[in-house]
Amino acid sequence: MDHSSSLEKILRSVAITLVLIFFLFPIAWIFLMSLQTNETILRIPPSLAFTPIIDNYTALITGQLRTAAGSLQLNFMQNMFNSVLLSVCSVALSLVLGVPAAYAFARFKFRLGEDIAFTLLSFRFAPALLVLLPLSLYFKTLGLTNTYIGLIWVYQLICLPLILWIVRGYFEDISPDIEHAYRIAGNSWWKTFTRISIPLAKPGIAAAGLLAFIFAWNNFVFALILASADKQPVTVGALAFVTASGIQYGQIAAAIIISITPTLALALYAQRYLVEGLSMGAVKG
Amino acid sequence: MAELGIAKVDKIYHSRKGDVHAVRALDLVVKPGEIVALLGSSGCGKTSTLRMIAGFEEVSNGSITLGGKPIHTLPPAARGVAMAFEAYSLYPPLTIGENMSFALKSSKLPQAEQDKRVKAMAGMLEIADILNKYPTSVSGGQQQRASLGRALVRDAGLYLLDEPMGQLEPQLRAVLRGRIKHYLREHKCTTILVTHDQTEANALADRIAVMEGGVLQQYATPAELKARPANLFTGTFIGEPPMNVFTADAKVSSDTVAFGVEGGATLTYPAADFSQSLREMLARTPRIALGIRPHALHLGDGPVKGKVMACQWLGDQTHVAVDVAGRTVVSVSQERVSRAPGSDVALTVAAGDLHLFETSSGKAIAHGGTLA
């Protein structure tokens, strides 16, 4: 870095700027859309000159959407609540199940251990559509359709493999002798796991948890099929803006901005963990 | 301080490629306050033994007792054992000082006493200046000393030290050996030390257990190991440079004992140098393996003829490599000797310096003229 010429510096800045524009433009554009009415969004040619309005946001928050065709009830805030509930609960459950499991896979060699670990990972390869039909049939029989418990359970397909494999790599990087040193100093297995192993794997656990949260938040198809409107998250809820009287672009944009805010804030907050966790644990291991 | 008893202990590792018998029927007693070194090359079972004592490996067969109480079924925490790890295994989020005092936290000692102990230990190991640093920011040797200090600072019935000085500079090693031995003695610590360095074992240990292939070869004091090796393995393993070994045929007559060494030379000694029972035995089974330590093989007038291959003055001793009938033997002299490569040389050895072993089993027959 220190030896790079000024030309290299300029080229690097240009490259970074291009990448930033590529990734940030859609978000910026949607943000601008969310401050406009359908008319100004759809005018041709498009223009950046408009009077910003916050009607889209107030409509979402109050749940009253007034269009030319009349007033419409929205339950966007309910969707938002569902998203938070489903993502938080499924990540929490995955952490409770996945972190000890990852530790077991990392530390102990047992019969069929690798096969079980791989089977769990394979849930990530399988397209959701593959399991949806059998799942919806089972869910009907079990009475799990349109329940939070059912959805949280299905979300494990997304969260658990991710947490298991990332955290496992992290545990494998911790020398067993560090745990041994703690145990021989008079501490139980459980105390060693909670006081030494978990804190040392914290960056990996945080990164895995965050990624799992983002994947769970972004999931669309499970909730679309297995739940009805009152249990659906924002990803599905945004469909409500495609109405008979037209597509409410302004509200969709506002809904997107609101719905990406939690994941964006989390990612920014945990950025350090994310980079550290993903570059040290699973990749190296 | 407690007596450690290891009785008929086996360690078998099961794997898909087959079972590995790492430790076989090990019997070992370490007396209270005794310092014992487990010495052997890599894979000899010494680390497996240590880990079984610590409780990180299960005992496949047999029992381990500490102070008369069986401990091999207890979890590591309940065994009352302290250990220094070869790979240091310090807790990364804690400073060197916290790492060392950490094990004392549960000891219910007053804080001032804990601090005092850690300070004294750090002073002894010369790491007092890095107590506030984190493990990742200090050198390997410093981490190793911190790990050693973390084990020694505790009050334990038994101290297990796995290659405790492997990463230290030679100068520091010699100084620390002395201090650590003094410390262990003063506190009457029962200690087991695992090492592959015989200088370290000799310097620290009261007794040395030599292991090879999972089997205990000999358990004796350093001096006895050198003077009376139990078999050909310990004979050649202990001592630097290693023992010269020849196949020889003994010829016992009424007033002499002669050894016809492979390559044609004959070493002849008065019969009086060998005990009656040894002479009788040699008469029955004349074929033996003859071991001669380099320090006992003297240049000068003698029956063994050879040509000098290399002659090296090391500052305090001379190593002379001699070609005897196609075999390379090494002679060590305390004086400065210079012989041109290629020159003829004769070698001699006193009857009292001969080690006799069985050719088939390698078991020792006699040392210095008397039966082993």
**Which CATH number covers residue A170?**
1.10.3720.10
A41 and A87 belong to one structural domain: no
pLDDT in tens, A28-59: 999 999 998 888 888 888 777 788 888 888 88
**Which CATH number covers residue B322?**
2.40.50.140
pTM score, two decimals?
Answer: 0.81
Classify residue B235: in a domain, yes or no: no
B39 and B174 belong to one structural domain: yes
Q: Is the pLDDT of residue A3 over 70?
A: no
B82: domain range? Answer: 4-227
Residue A245, C-beta contacts closer than 8 angstroms, at least 6 positions apart: A67, A68, A69
Residue A243, C-beta contacts closer than 8 angstroms, at least 6 positions apart: A67, A69, A72
Chain A positions in Cβ-Cβ contact with residue B91 (cut-off 8 Å): 178, 181-182, 196
A14 and A143 belong to one structural domain: no
B257 and B201 belong to one structural domain: no
In angstroms, rounded to a whole number, what is the distance separating the alpha carbons of residues A164 and A170? 10
In angstroms, rounded to a whole number, what is the distance separating the alpha carbons of residues B309 and B243? 18
Q: Is the pLDDT of residue A284 over 50?
A: no
pLDDT in tens, B324-336: 888 899 999 999 9
**Spatial contact of B176 and B150, defined as CB atoms under 8 Å apart:** no
Does residue B56 belong to the interface with chain A, where contact is any CB pair within 8 Å? yes
Calculate what percentage of chain B has a pLDDT beyond 70: 100
A66 or B4, which is more confident? B4
Classify residue A265: in a domain, yes or no: yes
In angstroms, rounded to a whole number, what is the distance separating the alpha carbons of residues B21 and A190? 31
In angstroms, rounded to a whole number, what is the distance separating the alpha carbons of residues A181 and A183? 6
pLDDT in tens, A171-215: 998 889 999 999 988 888 899 999 889 998 988 898 899 999 999
Q: Which of residues 108-147 of B touch A (CB under 8 A)?
A: 147
Q: Which of A69-73, B264-268, B316-320 tops mean pLDDT?
A: B316-320
Are A183 and B83 inside 8 Å of each other by CB?
no
Question: What mean pLDDT do residues A73-80 have?
Answer: 83
For residue A200, give the nearest of B75, B83, B92 by CB distance: B92
Predicted local distance difference test score (pLDDT) of residue A252: 87
Could you report the predicted ipTM of this complex, rounded to two decimals? 0.79
Does residue A187 belong to the interface with chain B, where contact is any CB pair within 8 Å? yes
Are A175 and B89 inside 8 Å of each other by CB?
yes
Predicted local distance difference test score (pLDDT) of residue A120: 84
**Spatial contact of A267 and A198, defined as CB atoms under 8 Å apart:** no
Closest Cα in chain B, distance from residue A263 (Å): 29
A170 and A62 belong to one structural domain: no
A153 and A237 belong to one structural domain: yes
Mutating which of B56, B153, B159 best tests the A interface, going by the most A Cβ atoms within 10 A?
Answer: B56
Q: Is the pLDDT of residue A277 over 90?
A: no
Strand-pair partners of B346 = B305
Nearest residue of A to residue B53, measured between CA atoms? A184
Predicted local distance difference test score (pLDDT) of residue A2: 56
Predicted confidence band of residue B276 (pLDDT cuts 50, 70, 90):
very high
Are A181 and B89 inside 8 Å of each other by CB?
yes
Q: Which of A12, A34, A11, A74 shows the shortest CA–CA distance to A249?
A: A34
Are A180 and B87 inside 8 Å of each other by CB?
no
Question: What mean pLDDT do residues A114-139 have?
Answer: 86
**Which CATH number covers residue B45?**
3.40.50.300
Does residue A114 belong to the interface with chain B, where contact is any CB pair within 8 Å? no
Does residue A178 belong to the interface with chain B, where contact is any CB pair within 8 Å? yes
Chain A positions in Cβ-Cβ contact with residue B55 (cut-off 8 Å): 183-184
Calculate what percentage of chain A has a pLDDT beyond 70: 93
A245: domain range? Answer: 76-280
Predicted local distance difference test score (pLDDT) of residue B93: 86
In angstroms, rounded to a whole number, what is the distance separating the alpha carbons of residues B108 and A98? 36
Q: Which of residues 140-159 of B touch A (CB under 8 A)?
A: 147, 150, 154
Domain count of the fold of chain A: 2
Domain count of the fold of chain B: 2
Predicted local distance difference test score (pLDDT) of residue A72: 66
pLDDT in tens, B168-220: 998 999 999 999 999 999 999 999 999 999 999 999 999 999 999 999 999 99
Are A178 and B90 inside 8 Å of each other by CB?
yes
Strand-pair partners of B66 = B4, B69
Q: Which of B98, B145, B142, B95 shows the shortest CA–CA distance to B118?
A: B98
B125 and B212 belong to one structural domain: yes
Does residue A180 belong to the interface with chain B, where contact is any CB pair within 8 Å? yes
A137 and A213 belong to one structural domain: yes
Predicted confidence band of residue A83 (pLDDT cuts 50, 70, 90):
very high
B356 or B302, which is more confident? B356
Classify residue A285: in a domain, yes or no: no
B188 and B329 belong to one structural domain: no
Chain B positions in Cβ-Cβ contact with residue A176 (cut-off 8 Å): 56
Q: Which of A142, A163, A160, A141 shows the shortest CA–CA distance to A152?
A: A160
The mean predicted confidence, pLDDT, of chain A is 86
